Amino acid sequence: MPNLPSTNRSSSDTPTITQSSSLINLSIAPARVCRGVKALEIAGDAIALLGKRPLIIGGDTTLQLIQPYLAPLTHQLETTTSSYSPDCSESSLAVLREKVASHRADVIIGVGGGKALDTAKLIAHQSQLPIATIPTSAATCAAWTALANVYANTGAFLYDVALTKCPDLLILDYDLIATAPQRTLVAGIGDAIAKWYEASVSSGSSEKTMIIAAVQQARVLRDILFQKAIGAIENPGSPIWQDVVDATVLLAGVIGGIGGANCRTVAAHAVHNGLTHLPAAHQALHGEKVAYGILVQLRLEEMVQGNQLALTSRKQLIDFYQAIGLPRTLEDLGLGEITLTELRRAAEIACSVGSDIHRLPFVVTPEQLTAAMVSTNIQLVSINI
């Protein structure tokens, strides 16, 4: 019989474990994802495992349109619905908490786009109830993430909330997603592709395993969208369309979950947040403003750092945006008539203390950001205003 190594180890043989200064908690994924054609028709049992008295939260229009899809749920469970109008705001959240109590809800179901899902996640978080998310479009990854944004009743971004967990259940029904306007899928592509341009800047030099994994997944996501976006837009409902829906709703969420806060948002989302304070920008979708914000971020890298790779990336994105219909300029966002004073105000908000823009590896002033915002489609390295 061969000699086996001894299992006895002295204290000097024991590996030293470095104590971290703080515990890092990652909420990576929903506990369960049900995805497929007609997924809602068979989702009742999955929701029933979470509770029997759901409060369904969505927008006024969405709650009306989705009734046929929710019929299997309403037959099985004691449901009631409530709108989050006028926004995912503190006043709306207060009303919905009262609704939770009056209905004696034991589970929350969020139905709709990003703001509806953020509202539902916040209510579930505040009420300590399980949450199921049902996205009605592929415009964001809000159905996946443990994060929610809070806005004023006027639609201006105020702050975000890190939640203790991702949703308990995500139901991705391709038939339901296919009823959304094509514009929402295009916006989702803009929101998702930002993951690479932001994560690679904020965390690209990290040697941490999970950060490296998140950044590389962001690169994969970008390449998938470059390769498949046009085909998905031209063939709604097709397998390639389903691939892109999975990318914008699911894979984009995975990246933020694996990488954590430092691998989610940088200047592109900061620009979005600033623009929400301009009433004229409210007609633009979240992903459209974020997509424009990527070009602004790359412009800043050119202007402040003289980064020629950023110029090359911006040119590549401009061509891609033109092919699929994402905004490249303020004019494309419907902000061609905005005054410089208004734009400067949005830039000041984007540069405020605690803003995601400060994850850039250089300092940005409101003046520099304003200059970048008006010159996203210009090929020059610098601009004076």
Name the residue among 136, 135, 131 with its Cα closest to residue 120.
Answer: 131
Query: Residues 206-212: contacts with CB within 8 Å, 24+ apart?
Result: 206/262, 210/26, 210/258, 210/259, 210/260, 211/259, 211/260, 211/262, 211/263
Quickly state the pLDDT bin for 31 (edges 50, 70, 90).
very high
Residue 155 has which token pair?
Answer: 């639609």
**Residue 21, pLDDT above cutoff 50:** no
Q: pTM score > 0.85 for this model? A: yes
Q: What is the pLDDT of residue 385?
A: 33
Question: Which pLDDT belongs to residue 42?
Answer: 86
- Rounded CA-CA distance 344/377 in Å is 19
Domains and CATH numbers, the chain: 33-180 (3.40.50.1970), 182-264 (1.20.1090.10), 266-385 (1.20.1090.10)
Residue 331 Ramachandran class (φ > 0 left, ψ -120 to 50 alpha, else beta): alpha
Phi first, then psi, for residue 37 (nearest 5°) are -70, 130
Residue with tokens 């947040």: 273
**Residue range 234-262: average pLDDT?**
94
Task: Output the pLDDT for position 379.
Answer: 56
Q: Can you tell me the distance from the alpha carbon of 241 to that of 225, in angstroms, rounded to the nearest whole number?
A: 11
116 with 139: CB under 8 angstroms? no
Q: For 60-69, what is each residue's pLDDT tens digit?
A: 999 998 988 8
Per-residue pLDDT at 169 exceeds 90: yes
Q: What is the C-alpha separation between 347 and 339, in angstroms, rounded? A: 13
The structure tokens 């949703």 sit at 167
Phi, psi (degrees; rounded to nearest 5) at 266: -135, -125
Compute φ and ψ for 110, nearest 5 degrees.
-100, 130
**Is residue 349 scored above 80 in pLDDT?**
yes
Residue 11: predicted pLDDT: 42
Is the confidence at residue 165, as pLDDT, over 60? yes
Would you say residue 82 has pLDDT above 70? yes
H-helix segments, 325-383: 340-350, 366-373
**DSSP for 234-281?**
HSTTSHHHHHHHHIIIIIHHHHHHHH-GGGT-SHHHHHHHHHTTSGGG
Average pLDDT over residues 308-326: 96
Residue 178 predicted with pLDDT over 80: yes
Q: How confident is the model at residue 344 (pLDDT cuts 50, 70, 90)?
A: very high
pLDDT of residue 265: 87
- pLDDT for the residue numbered 206: 84
Predicted confidence (pLDDT) at residue 23 exceeds the cutoff of 80: no
The rounded mean pLDDT for the chain is 91
d(CA 143, CA 244) in angstroms, rounded, equals 15
pLDDT digits (tens, 9 = 90+) for 358-384: 999 999 999 999 999 999 987 533 333
Residues 6+ apart with CB under 8 A from 99: 55, 80, 82, 105
Rounded-to-integer distance, Cα 313 and Cα 308, Å:
9
Residue 62: its H or E element: helix 60-65
What is the percent of the chain where pLDDT is above 70?
Answer: 92
**pLDDT value of residue 378:** 72
Which one, of 289, 333, 329, 282, lies nearest residue 140 by Cα? 289
Q: How far is the CA of 275 from the CAs of 132, 153, 272, in angstroms?
A: 30, 15, 5
Residue 2 pLDDT greater than 60, yes or no: no
Confidence of residue 224 (pLDDT cuts 50, 70, 90): very high
pLDDT in tens, 97-143: 999 999 999 999 999 999 999 999 999 999 999 999 999 999 999 99
Residue 22 has what pLDDT?
60
What confidence tens digit (pLDDT) does each residue in 265-297 have?
Answer: 899 999 999 999 999 999 999 999 999 999 999
